[in-house]
Amino acid sequence: MRASERSRTGWAAPLCALCCATLLALQAGGARAQTATKAEGQALTRNDFSIDLVTGPIVGPNRVVSLAGAYTALGYGIDNAAITPAAYGARTLWDTRWVEWDATLDYSPGAFRHTDFDNNGISGVTNTDFLFVTGGASIMIGEVGLGALVRLQNYRIGKSAQLNLVLANYGACYALLDGQLLIGASARTAVLSITETAVQKELVNFTGTGPEVGAVLGLEEVPFRVGLAARSGVTSAQDNRAHTVYGLTLPRSVSLPPELQLGFAYQLGDRPLNRRWINPHDRERELRAIMLARRRVRLREQLDTELADERLRRALDTAPPSASRFELAFDDEDELMPQPRDPEFWQAEAKLREREERQLQQDMELETSRYRAGLRALSRKYILLSADAVLIGPTDDGVGFESFLSQIRQVSGANPSFAARFGAEGEPIQNRLKLRVGGYMEPSRFAEGSTRLHATMGFDLRLFAFDMFGLVDEFDLRITAALDVAQRYRNFGFSVGIWH
| Residue 52 predicted with pLDDT over 70 | yes
pLDDT score at 112? 54
Report the CATH number at residue 202: 2.40.160.40
Mean pLDDT lowest for which of 20-24, 334-338, 352-356? 20-24
CA distance from start to end of the chain = 36
| Residue 284 predicted with pLDDT over 80 | yes
pLDDT score at 165? 87
Three-class SS state of 21: helix
Q: Are residues 493 and 353 in the same domain?
A: no
Q: Per this entry, what is the length of the chain?
A: 500
pLDDT score at 226? 97
pLDDT score at 261? 97
pLDDT band at 355 (very low <50, low <70, confident <90, very high): very high
Which structural domain range is residue 371 located in? Answer: 280-376
Q: Are residues 299 and 393 in the same domain?
A: no
Average pLDDT, stretch 465-476? 77
Phi, psi of 355 (to 5 degrees): -65, -35
Q: Are residues 136 and 12 in the same domain?
A: yes
Residue-wise pLDDT tens digits, 384-403? 999 999 999 999 999 888 78
Three-class SS state of 15: helix
Q: Are residues 15 and 62 in the same domain?
A: yes
Rounded to whole angstroms, how far apart are CA atoms 190 and 395?
15
**DSSP assignment of 356-425:** HHHHHHHHHHHHHHHHHHHHHTS---EEEEEEEEEEE---TTEEEHHHHHHTB--B--SS-EEEEEEEEE
| Residue 16 predicted with pLDDT over 70 | no
Strands, DSSP E only, in 115-180? 130-141, 144-157, 161-176
- Relative to beta strand 475-486, strand 489-498 is antiparallel
Q: Are residues 353 and 385 in the same domain?
A: no
Distances (CA, A) of 60 to 97, 107, 159: 28, 8, 27
| Residue 395 identity (one-letter amino acid) | T
Q: Are residues 12 and 93 in the same domain?
A: yes
pLDDT score at 480? 95
Please, what is the average pLDDT of the chain?
Answer: 83
Task: Answer with the one of 354, 376, 398 that is the final residue of a domain.
Answer: 376
Question: How many other CB atoms sit within 10 Å of the CB of residue 318?
Answer: 9
Q: Rg (Cα) of the chain, in Å, rounded?
A: 30
Q: Are residues 242 and 291 in the same domain?
A: no
Residue-wise pLDDT tens digits, 77-91? 899 999 999 999 999
Mean pLDDT lowest for which of 109-113, 144-148, 352-356, 476-480? 109-113
Q: Are residues 190 and 335 in the same domain?
A: no
Q: Which of 21-30, 53-62, 237-246 has the highest mean pLDDT?
A: 53-62
Q: Are residues 71 and 182 in the same domain?
A: yes
Residue closest to 240 by CA, chosen among 198, 194, 197:
194
pLDDT band at 409 (very low <50, low <70, confident <90, very high): confident
Q: Are residues 439 and 423 in the same domain?
A: yes
89, 140 in Cβ contact below 8 A? yes
Average pLDDT, stretch 417-445? 94
Q: Are residues 178 and 305 in the same domain?
A: no
Residue closest to 422 by CA, chosen among 259, 231, 214, 264:
264
| Residue 349 predicted with pLDDT over 50 | yes
Q: Are residues 31 and 151 in the same domain?
A: yes
Residue-wise pLDDT tens digits, 210-230? 999 999 999 998 999 999 999
Rounded to whole angstroms, how far apart are CA atoms 207 and 235?
8
Three-class SS state of 2: coil
Task: Answer with the one of 351, 376, 401 that is the final residue of a domain.
Answer: 376
Q: How many domains does the chain have?
A: 2
| Residue 26 predicted with pLDDT over 50 | no
pLDDT band at 150 (very low <50, low <70, confident <90, very high): very high
Rounded to whole angstroms, how far apart are CA atoms 206 and 208?
7
Residue closest to 229 by CA, chosen among 274, 273, 186:
186
Task: Answer with the one of 376, 401, 422 that is the final residue of a domain.
Answer: 376
pLDDT score at 104? 92
Between CA 374 and CA 500, with CA 426 as vertex, the angle to 5 degrees is 50
